[in-house]
Structure 1
Amino acid sequence: MSKVTWAALVAATVMFTGFGGGAFAQTTPAGDPAKQTSPAPAATPTQGAQDDKAKAADDRKAKRAEERKAKREEAKKERAAKREEAKKERAAKRQEAKKERTESRPNRRKLCGAEWREAREAGKIEKGMTWPKFWSACNTRLKEQAAKQKAN
């Protein structure tokens, strides 16, 4: 920036800020100090109507925001209810599938247990035979029988 431009900028700043004593520095007319300040003008009817319109517009915006918030909350609750319902349906399907699986095959442990009790009560258990040994032999035998039945 050249010296001439800089000087012009400083002069304009001084003049507009009130330090220069020029026409721009005087903000109030000379004369009676009581007349220098005038009260603020009263609100005009159109200004009051504008304020009412602005307030009404703000109220409408707030009401719409509340409605959107309520709608989002309702949708959130609906989604949660659907998730819970789907969860219950999946659990019921799993339970039903488990029930079908267990009903379709014999419970070898129960069958071997019944055989063990009958053999023990009848005294047909060999000396040294324990439940784990009996279970192992019985389980193997029942699996073989099931495999033969499937093959046929």
Structure 2
Amino acid sequence: MVGNNPKEDILTSCKATAMIYNDAQKKWLHCASNGPAKVQLLFSPDTQTYRIVGRQIQDHEVVLNHSISKGIKYNQATPTFHQWRDQSCVYGLNFSSKIDAQEFGSTMMKILENVNGSPSNPSSHMIMNGGATLPSSSTMTNNN
């Protein structure tokens, strides 16, 4: 089940409208027509991987299921709109509040530090974030 894996930790959860940039039309398009989604940043301790998962609040349709991997570019474009780019697409989240945006952005930046850090044993040291744990990037980079 997408986003409900009991083996994944929820690092943060917020309400936002998920969007994707259509390069041909040069505009942002909603990923779904049913309003905002519950968007979560998830961590799998078993595989040491991260995902962004979004489900429509109204009908639980999955609108985002995106692995967070090395090389993703993340930008906090405005206080309530963040975007990220992988090799093929640009995605965006229009947050319902600045607080949600700040928490999501802060957690995402920590994830990207870990993902882009030097390879080592990421489970050796952890930092707390909203009740879940993230591998510590400072520990990862100091274990060369």
**TM-score (normalizing by structure 2):** 0.19
TM-score normalised per structure 1: 0.18
